[in-house]
Amino acid sequence: MTQGAPRTPARRTVLGAAGAAAFGVSAGLAAGAGAARAAETGRPHDRGHGHGRGFRSLPVPTVIAHRGASGYRPEHTLGSYRHALDLGAHVIEQDLVPTKDGHLVCRHENDITGTTDVADHPEFAARKTTKTVDGVAYTGWFTEDFTLAELKTLRAKERIPGTRQENTLYDGRWTVPTFEEVLRWADEEGRRRGREIWLHVETKHPTYFRSLGLGLEERLAKLLRRYGRHRADSAVFLQSFEPGSVQRLSKLVDSPLVVLLSGANTRPWDFVESGDPRTVADLVTPAGLRWIASYAQGIGPTLDLVIPKDAAGRLTTPTTLVRDAHAEGLILHPYTQRNENAFLPADFRRGTDPAAYGDAFGALRRYFETGIDGVFSDNPDTALLAAADFAGR
């Protein structure tokens, strides 16, 4: 893979992937590489839900419900997580941020302006403020300024009501869950459904929160130990865009670890803070992947690192990332698949309404053909059908 573009801090849009990667591409990965690898490794496409045998027993491609079934319910609510399970998702994702009193709660970011009704609470009006998080200024309300008891008076709401109007039906129905509530819920659901409930847990802005005295990793490790998810074969992945957070977790627990990778020209924020000059483009070289494999079991690249888009937003030729990561023993869980035209590659959009569904199956087929091990999806039912199509092709 090539590199050389300007080195900038990681800046990711809230919903979409970062810009197209500036990579050299391979001659093209053979279609069906996933099946070939499954045959090599004895990993069938569907072994159930990985009951008790670690992440290598999960179905491939693994469908990870991104923030729950966030295409259908307000994200990071028990309603969104439960719906994802009902749809058959193999794994349910949580993003974690802390409260003022050190509880881990499930939110995509500490700014809760867009995903709760905090703006409707006059008692919290004075807490609206502007903060710089990972080099970016935000104005709103922030979890670290609320105790858990205060946060629990808020209600979750749909992040993108203009695109997902139907989800607003559920606005106000659920509170912001703590991670401990999710762990309890997952145990209960596991007993009820007779299978392990897999989680995929991300530390958000770990360097920023550590600077506030609210380090995430120790708190997370403590909860994982309390609920028995700290072992190499536990039904959990731990993930972060900051390799330093993943390395810290590797010293605290044995759970499987995944390094998230944003756009090729970005730098993980802990690298920015520590002066490490490496970019994501450096991390996706064979040497970079070997370094990741020294402490983690997988990577979570933006889909654009797997198949870059051209200037018009159409899919081009796959990079060598899948082959190179597999050569280092790393699995790949790219992000994020969504059914709406607004989030699909240009060649898979249908019509001109950005909120209408495009050819999500066509796009998923292209991604699965690269040999990825799983995908984060807002629409896990769609991804599951596409995975079944792919397995049966």
- In the complex, the residues that contact ligand G3P under the rule CB under 6 A are 12, 66, 93, 95, 108, 202, 239, 260, 300, 335-336, 376
CB neighbours of 334 closer than 8 A, spacing ≥ 6?
300, 301, 302, 303, 305, 306, 367, 372, 374, 375, 376
The least CB distance from residue 300 to Ca ion, in Å, is 8
Closer to Ca ion at the Cβ: 3 or 262? 262
Which partner from the list Ca ion, ligand G3P, none does 376 bind, CB cut-off 5 to 8 Å by kind? Answer: ligand G3P
Our CB check for ligand G3P shows the closer of 66 and 229 to be: 66
Residue 300 binds what, of Ca ion, ligand G3P, none (CB under 5 to 8 Å, by partner type)?
A: ligand G3P
Query: Which residue's CB is nearer to ligand G3P, number 158 or number 202?
Result: 202
One-letter identity of residue 3: Q
Measuring CA to CA, which residue among 319, 286, 288 is closest to residue 302? 319
Figure out which of the listed residues 202, 270, 378, 381 binds Ca ion, where binding follows CB under 5 A.
202
By CB under 5 A, tell whether 95 contacts Ca ion. yes
Residue 224 half-sphere exposure toward CB, CA atoms < 13 A: 28
In this complex, which beta carbon is closest to ligand G3P, that of residue 150 or of residue 380? Answer: 380
The Cα–Cα gap between 93 and 106 comes to 9
Q: How distant, in Å, are the alpha carbons of 25, 264, 284, 287 from that of 278?
A: 21, 10, 11, 12
Q: Please, what is the minimum distance in Å from the beta carbon of residue 204 to Ca ion?
A: 8
Which one of ligand G3P, Ca ion, none interacts with residue 260, CB within 5 to 8 A by kind? ligand G3P
Of residues 126, 358, 118, 195, the one with CA closest to residue 186:
195
The C-alpha atoms of residue 256 and residue 298 are separated, in whole angstroms, by 8
Q: How far apart are the first and last CA of the chain?
A: 30
Coil, helix or strand at residue 332: strand
Q: Which stretch binds Ca ion (CB under 5 A): 89-97, 226-234, 344-352, 366-374?
A: 89-97
Asked if 196 is part of the footprint of Ca ion (rule: CB under 5 A), the reply reads no
Closer Cβ to Ca ion, 33 or 246, answer by number: 246
The residue (of 1 and 10) whose beta carbon lies closer to ligand G3P is: 10
